[in-house]
Chain A
Amino acid sequence: MEGKPLTEPLSSFRANVETVLLGKRESVDLAIASFIAGGHVLLEDVPGTGKTTLARALSSGISGTFRRIQFTSDLLPQDIIGMHILGADRKSFVFSPGPLFANVVLADEINRSSPRAQSALLEAMSERQVTVDNRTYPLPEPFLVIATQNPYEQHGTYPLPESQLDRFNLRLRLSYPDRDSERQLIRENNLLTMRDGIPASLRPEQVRALRAEVDRVTVHDAVVDYIQRIAAATRVHPAVRLGASPRGAIGLKSTSQALALLCGRDHVTPGDVRRAAVPVLCHRVFPKGDAAGSEAAQAILEEVLSVVPSPL
């Protein structure tokens, strides 16, 4: 069983990320879980709460490539995925890959760019390949997009439509650190400190092996049933306009599996599902009327979770 040698680098990876992001253990666990389950992450919060730090820590934890794309309103698809340029021999076009060709891509302030650029990124996210001028180029494996957006700035932004939000497996909110962690942060840092330089502990092929490992985590029929009931309950909730998609349910299962693996278990418990449910489903549930916003969706999900009986 190759699971044995993998647990050690995984736990050191997790410990390293946690030293960078103080007091955010749960968010770190969820982000890593999504990462090893192969799901992209959307970080949503005010600036300066560590979104970029988390993304950089995740990427530098694996010995892969990391790129950062700053989304602006004039960003074009070519700027992301790359383009064909005339080769040095002046006879043929060669493909010049854009910043998307990396193991970890940080799409900063994704809602600032036009839908055109957004859709280019999102296609790559779900297909794991890009098509430029009838040529298809596979993206490296592992491939993870960590997008950030600032929900409080509405002016001049293009909010992601429902279908595109669905491509993200996880939406995390990195709220302010707790008091002790923040004190420690203030004490130990100045404006020039970079806290994301952690040693790489996972190689890309190990990440691939981990993904296979996640797939092997047992999901009991009762837990599958529980996931299905949660997803179904979001669709019939009276305050919901659009409920969780089947893709959301699949994402919930995979994230739960990854969480279980992270805890060193070979089976998913209802507790794993409940841990993952809000981050995985929150951005996929759209409340009715003006109540749009993550608070309302989160309240709905918490209600669903307290009402849907968990298997015992």
Chain B
Amino acid sequence: MTRRLPAREFLWWSLRAHWALALGLLALFTDAARWALLLAAFAWVAGVAMDRADTPRIALSRLGSPIVALFLAAAAADFLFGSRDLLASLSLLVLGVQSVKFLLPKGSRDGWQLCAVALLEFLAAAAGTFAPAFALFAFLFFVASAGAMGALHDQEAEEAGRPSGGYAVPARAAAGVLLAAGVGGFLASAVLFAVIPRLEFRQILERFGRARGVVGFSDTITLREVTGIKSDRRVVARVEFPELRPGLLPANLYLRGAVYSRYEDGVWSRGGATPLPVQRVGFTHFVGDDAVPDSTADITLEAADNPALFIYGHPTLIEGAFAPLLSDGEGNFSLARSGHPTLRYRVRFAADLPPRSRTGRRAETEDLAFPKGYEDVRVLAREIAGATGTDDERAERIMRFFMSGFRYTLSDPASSIREFLFRKRAGYCEHYAAGLSLLLRGAGIPSRVAAGYLGGEWNGVGKYLIVRQSDAHAWVEAWLDGRWVTLDATPPSGDSSPFRTRTGTIGLCVDWLRQRWDKYVVNYSMRMQADAVKEGVRAVRRTGAAFRFRGWGGIGGAARRATGWALLAAPALYLLYRLLRKRRNSAENGSPPGLPPLPGPYARLVRRLDRNRFRRHPGETLEEALTAAAGSRPDLSGDAVRFLGLYHRDRFGPGPLPPEAREEAFRLADRLRRGISS
């Protein structure tokens, strides 16, 4: 049943698959220009057709440079006048290079380059996908890569005149390449974000957003069927708390998506105020100046179809790469467009506010507006609250009303508020919230219903909170002592609730990986770099007084400069390292002044021999080490003999080696090096 393909055919087959996959990725997940994708697809089809027909390609070889130039011009034009998006423009250029490589291959080297190019495309696309799709594509991509690399290995062997060993890729080499590709890709993305700090990656991906996120958060609240929501275990958000006021527990915090002030015909909806853009500087939005923040939350909000932005407590600052951020002044924050991909933002907030003088009783009538036809509820409210005491005390009495005689149920709830309050006394959070709010209003206390999520599951592995759809909740905010206070009449569900989420350790670890990917790849931002630098500086400071930097306390400018310096310092350090290494090498090798420095391919071969313990002393010659290596790999001995002849002539011979012989020596050195390592 197994049909064995000839090595060459297999190679191009797998490269074709590789490229088709990358094209699909670009088409599905990025905004690369459609005409460029079409052109590339055409090149792909042409390449396949030419392979089928065995057309010689020599005649086409002059087309290579014009095609690349065309794509280069297209990329430049796209960047200047078209999308103005670096990633999209670069992908145009990459497509051009890929087309040429595919149409006019010269050797196995082109195959490797195709693999590398496809990897770049894969990374560009991967950053925009969400986890399941990403995993699938990662799998397909790695399978295609492994196949292509195996075939390339064979073809190289064939070109070198050695027998190719079937299609087996040395497992270690393949794993090493894949690992290196993964790590390199990750670092490359990080560097890319660092190079364009003002342009956070999030912004680039903004445009690719698809409204296919979590559905379920709505703009209104009714007493509807909620069993589905309570058993929905999809993750809505993951929240880290870099700073949390002592005494607060993440599991008791209310993640608020919206507040509803208007109640009509059993439906709670948002107030009528028009949302206006929030004042901002850069990506920092100033949303409230009446509170002293004592906590910070980093919220990664999964893709959702609702524009609502979730916050904690009384926010003062929201930092995130979205503009504009709209606020209606009532506590509702939303994005300009509905439907967003994964979002990451930071909220500085005060968990609660201190009581203030009762000067400004809220004038807004919407929070007090009592619906018509609920006079019995108003009577009940006055009865429960009593006529005496402060608003605090009266609100307390109303809260206490719900503590006896009411039960929490999802399966058999009351069908209306009146039924809930007077007869059935059974319901879930929305009944409690609506009932409490109506009673407060009946007693003359302004109140509104808030919706969002309560608590979540704490992930001890990554130290963050997982908020799921099943954590959805509704509660009440009441205007007491000049500030909004959260009141929740719903009885706590307790640990035995069937809707309480308990994830195993493996699940937590998987989720942690996902969170890291979102945090460090998809949403890696300038601010996080600044934080990292600050963290590093703090560590340096802690180590002692020797390093005294001034002015690190501030963020922004100083941190950005530090990042710049770090980025400058890294290559400098690397160069220094290379220089020292070269020095040390030449000192070790004892090359006298008369002998030119060892050319790169030879030096790399010597290093590899050193590392694989074939050369143990500085006194041993390359010849001895190579002979020892060839002793353990007999298939290399032919190459070794040919190489040594050329090498000796090159280094110690009477005259300079002709260029083509030198080329051959370098090629042999590279091949031997690879042979030794595998």
Contacts and interface: CB of A to CB of B under 8 A. Distances in A.
B620 to A, nearest CB: 7
Interface string A288-312: 0000000000000000011111111
B624 interface: yes
A18 interface: no
Contacts of B659: none
Nearest to A229: B590
A245 B651 CA distance: 28
A221 B591 CA distance: 10
A268 interface: yes
A154 B595 CA distance: 48
A220 B595 contact: yes
Contacts of A310: 590, 618-621
A311 B595 contact: yes
Contact of A222 (B616, B652, B654): B652
B549 to A, nearest CB: 44
A310 B589 CA distance: 7
A269 interface: yes
B507 interface: no
A289 to B, nearest CB: 26
A1 to B, nearest CB: 13
Nearest to B592: A225
Interface string B609-629: 000000011111111100000
B439 to A, nearest CB: 90
B620 A306 contact: yes
Contacts of A225: 592, 594
Given A267-B654, A268-B652, A221 B622 contact: no
B640 to A, nearest CB: 13
Given A308-B619, A310-B620, A267 B652 contact: yes
Contacts of A274: 619, 621, 624
B654 A312 contact: no
B427 to A, nearest CB: 85
Contact of B591 (A271, A308, A311): A311
Contacts of A220: 594-595, 651-653
B595 A309 contact: no
B595 A221 contact: yes
A222 B648 contact: no
A266 interface: yes
Interface in A240-278: 265-271, 274
B606 interface: yes
Contacts of B623: 269-271
Nearest to A264: B645
B380 interface: no
Contacts of B589: 309, 311-312
B606 to A, nearest CB: 6
Contact of B588 (A267, A306, A309): A309
Nearest to B654: A218
Interface string B646-675: 001101111000000000000000000000
B137 interface: no
A222 B621 contact: no
B254 to A, nearest CB: 71
A77 to B, nearest CB: 44
B335 interface: no
B653 A222 contact: no
Given A220-B651, A223-B652, A311-B651, A269 B592 contact: no
A309 B648 contact: no
Contacts of B652: 218, 220, 222-223, 267-270, 311
A172 B652 CA distance: 27
Given A267-B648, A271-B624, A312 B598 contact: yes
B279 to A, nearest CB: 67
Contact of B654 (A266, A271, A306, A311): A266
Contacts of A305: 619
Given A218-B653, A220-B594, A312 B621 contact: yes
Interface string A79-103: 0000000000000000000000000
Contact of B617 (A221, A265, A307, A312): A307
B499 interface: no
A220 B591 CA distance: 12
A225 B621 CA distance: 15
A309 B590 contact: yes
Interface string B415-438: 000000000000000000000000
B653 A266 contact: yes
Contacts of B595: 220-222, 311
B651 A309 contact: no
Contacts of B594: 220-222, 225
Contacts of B624: 271, 274
A308 B617 CA distance: 9
Interface in B595-613: 595, 598, 602, 606
B643 to A, nearest CB: 13
B592 A221 contact: yes
A308 B590 contact: yes
Contact of A312 (B591, B616, B649, B653): B591
A270 B619 CA distance: 10
Contacts of A306: 616-620
A309 B653 contact: no
A220 B649 CA distance: 10
Contacts of A223: 652
Given A311-B651, A312-B589, A269 B617 contact: no
**Which of B588, B592, B619 gathers the greatest number of chain A CB atoms within 10 Å?**
B619
Contact of A267 (B590, B602, B606, B653): B653
A271 B647 CA distance: 12
Interface of A: 218, 220-223, 225, 229, 265-271, 274, 305-312
Given A266-B654, A309-B588, 16 more contacts: A220-B594, A220-B652, A222-B591, A222-B592, A222-B595, A225-B592, A229-B590, A269-B621, A270-B623, A271-B621, A307-B618, A310-B618, A311-B590, A311-B591, A312-B622, A312-B651
26 contacts: A220-B652, A220-B653, A221-B594, A222-B592, A222-B652, A223-B652, A225-B594, A266-B653, A266-B654, A267-B648, A267-B649, A267-B652, A269-B648, A270-B623, A271-B621, A271-B623, A306-B620, A307-B617, A308-B590, A309-B589, A310-B590, A311-B589, A311-B592, A311-B651, A312-B602, A312-B651
7 A-B pairs with the lowest CB-CB distances in the bound complex, closest first: A309-B590, A221-B594, A309-B618, A306-B617, A218-B654, A222-B595, A225-B592
